[in-house]
């Protein structure tokens, strides 16, 4: 089992009313241990087998049962629950709930959330032997599979009735292992290597002063984390920031444009994906003073020279199996400048940020982007968190890699 598969995943755990509901406590505990965020939704019948207090304590989230809590006035929005989940796990899924899910019967919060979901759904049946073997149950299971859901096969053993055979809910450890295998198989960038640059560069003037910019690195770090979650082996080359390196990412800190260029040159030939999101200095001082420059003269001139254009250099070296993404932060004539940059740098995508867009650009937790492809396709996205923007960019990268 691998932690990154579950870390920060938003999981809706549906618990239905059968004796196997007691296993939900261990299942929640294991998912929390794997650093997932777990939202439990119980059917009313499930509360007869295990208390909501137990599962809310373990999940660190209130357990949801009904659409509406008359005591607090809180409306539990099934649409938000379904759309925000990374995946839904229904365990145990009783014969009754399976029939509802298969036939679109929407009479409780869990079934309504299921019908609103766009994410993968895993269903772990648990029932007595004769119920599992009944033609109606077999038909419903076939329907659920046809809808694209994944059925976690029930285990064999002694059942609550005393019968022996299939119908047992697998042990929580077995369910976690099953999920881990499926999630690993579904990672579209598994086996790929990615290089990401982030943050500013600092070009020294003297031992205490430098030329820099306001880049926080948040966008690049979010892209690195998103690529890693999609299965890529990620190298993050970052200028100075206040951010912690994402988990499971190879982190290489640099300071200057030259250090960033040299590091990118070292790794570029070995990667399938390169995302150049760093705000690299265009110019650097020709001479760096060895001692602090004293404030003496009214006017002071620093002679600058161009830095090596990292994106353009990598664009010249790019091979047919690589995806190269560049960024353009513009203040005027934004779209045309970004199109020109795409061609000059030989990139596959240019991500355009406009300084005119409120909530976008340096320092903020949100961003608004327009992506231009090599084929001159233009995709404009709304203002989103940088984590969500990273997902949009990475989805385009996945599509491009799959087309190669």
Other beta carbons within 10 Å of 317: 13
293 and 205 Cβ atoms separated by less than 8 Å: yes
CA-angle at 19, arms to 18 and 20, nearest 5°? 90
For the chain, the C-alpha Rg in angstroms (whole number) is 26
Pick from 185, 212, 245: which residue ends a domain?
A: 185
Segments of the chain scoring below 50 in pLDDT:
1-3
Nearest CA to 13 out of 68, 93, 69 is that of: 93
Residue 213 is among the residues annotated as catalytic for this protein: yes
- CATH classification of the domain holding 104: 3.40.50.1950
Pick from 144, 164, 185: which residue ends a domain?
A: 185
The confidence score (pLDDT) of residue 190 equals 87
Looking at the structure, tell me whether residues 117 and 58 fall in a common domain. yes
Q: What is the pLDDT of residues 55-77, one digit of tens each?
A: 999 999 999 999 887 777 788 88
Q: At a CB cut-off of 8 Å and minimum separation 6, what does 38 contact? A: 11, 13, 28, 31, 32, 59, 61
Pick from 152, 185, 218: which residue ends a domain?
A: 185
315 and 324 Cβ atoms separated by less than 8 Å: yes
Q: Which helix (H) or strand (E) holds 145?
A: helix 135-146
The single residue of 61, 96, 213, 346 carrying the catalytic annotation is 213
Reduced to 3 states, what is the DSSP secondary structure of residue 402? helix
Looking at the structure, tell me whether residues 227 and 179 fall in a common domain. no
Looking at the structure, tell me whether residues 15 and 95 fall in a common domain. yes
- CATH classification of the domain holding 371: 3.40.50.10300
Looking at the structure, tell me whether residues 123 and 39 fall in a common domain. yes
Looking at the structure, tell me whether residues 136 and 114 fall in a common domain. yes
Domain count, the chain: 2
Looking at the structure, tell me whether residues 365 and 243 fall in a common domain. yes
Looking at the structure, tell me whether residues 116 and 162 fall in a common domain. yes
Looking at the structure, tell me whether residues 127 and 17 fall in a common domain. yes
Predicted model pTM:
0.69
CA 272/CA 298 separation, integer angstroms: 51
Looking at the structure, tell me whether residues 32 and 121 fall in a common domain. yes
Looking at the structure, tell me whether residues 89 and 225 fall in a common domain. no
Q: What is the separation of C-alpha 107 from the centre of its chain, rounded to a whole number of angstroms? A: 32
Q: What is the pLDDT of residues 334-369, one digit of tens each?
A: 899 999 999 999 999 999 987 666 666 666 789 999
Q: At a CB cut-off of 8 Å and minimum separation 6, what does 26 contact? A: 172
Looking at the structure, tell me whether residues 161 and 266 fall in a common domain. no
Looking at the structure, tell me whether residues 373 and 246 fall in a common domain. yes
The confidence score (pLDDT) of residue 329 equals 84
Structural domain boundaries enclosing 146? 3-185
CA 34/CA 108 separation, integer angstroms: 29
The confidence score (pLDDT) of residue 362 equals 67
């Amino acid at each position: 089992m691998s932690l990154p598969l579950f870390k920060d995943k938003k999981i809706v755990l549906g618990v239905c009313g059968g004796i196997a509901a007691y296993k939900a406590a261990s299942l929640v505990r294991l998912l929390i241990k794997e650093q997932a965020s777990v939202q439990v939704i119980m059917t009313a019948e499930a509360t007869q087998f295990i208390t909501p207090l137990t599962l809310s304590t373990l999940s660190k989230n209130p357990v949801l049962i009904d659409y509406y809590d008359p005591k607090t006035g809180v409306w539990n929005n099934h649409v938000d629950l379904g759309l925000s989940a990374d995946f839904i796990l229904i365990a145990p899924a009783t014969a009754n709930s399976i029939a509802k899910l298969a036939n679109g019967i929407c009479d409780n919060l869990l079934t309504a959330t299921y019908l609103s979901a766009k994410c993968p759904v895993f269903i772990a049946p648990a029932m007595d032997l004769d119920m599992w073997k009944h033609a109606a149950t077999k038909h419903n299971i076939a329907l659920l599979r046809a809808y694209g859901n994944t059925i976690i096969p029930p285990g064999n053993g002694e059942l609550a009735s005393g019968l022996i055979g299939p119908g047992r809910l697998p042990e929580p450890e077995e369910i976690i292992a099953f999920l881990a295998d499926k999630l690993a198989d579904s990672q579209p960038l598994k086996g790929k290597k990615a290089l990401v640059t982030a943050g500013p560069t600092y070009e020294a003037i003297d031992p205490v002063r430098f030329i820099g910019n306001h880049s926080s690195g948040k966008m690049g770090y979010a892209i690195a984390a998103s690529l890693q979650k999609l299965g890529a082996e990620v190298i993050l080359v970052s200028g100075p920031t206040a951010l912690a390196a994402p988990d499971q990412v190879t982190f290489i800190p640099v300071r200057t444009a030259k250090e960033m260029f040299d590091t990118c040159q070292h790794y570029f030939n070995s990667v399938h994906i390169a995302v150049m999101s760093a705000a690299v200095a265009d110019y650097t001082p020709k001479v760096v003073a060895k001692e602090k420059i004293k404030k003496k003269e009214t006017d002071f001139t620093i002679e600058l020279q161009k830095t090596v254009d990292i994106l353009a250099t990598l664009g010249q070296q790019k091979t047919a199996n690589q995806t190269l993404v560049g960024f353009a932060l513009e203040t005027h004539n934004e779209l045309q400048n970004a199109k020109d940059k795409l061609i000059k740098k030989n990139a596959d995508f240019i991500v355009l940020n406009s300084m005119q867009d409120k909530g976008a650009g340096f320092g903020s937790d949100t961003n608004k982007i327009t992506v231009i492809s090599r084929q001159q396709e233009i995709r404009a996205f709304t203002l989103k968190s940088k984590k969500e923007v990273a997902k949009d960019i990475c989805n385009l990268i996945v599509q491009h890699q799959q087309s190669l």
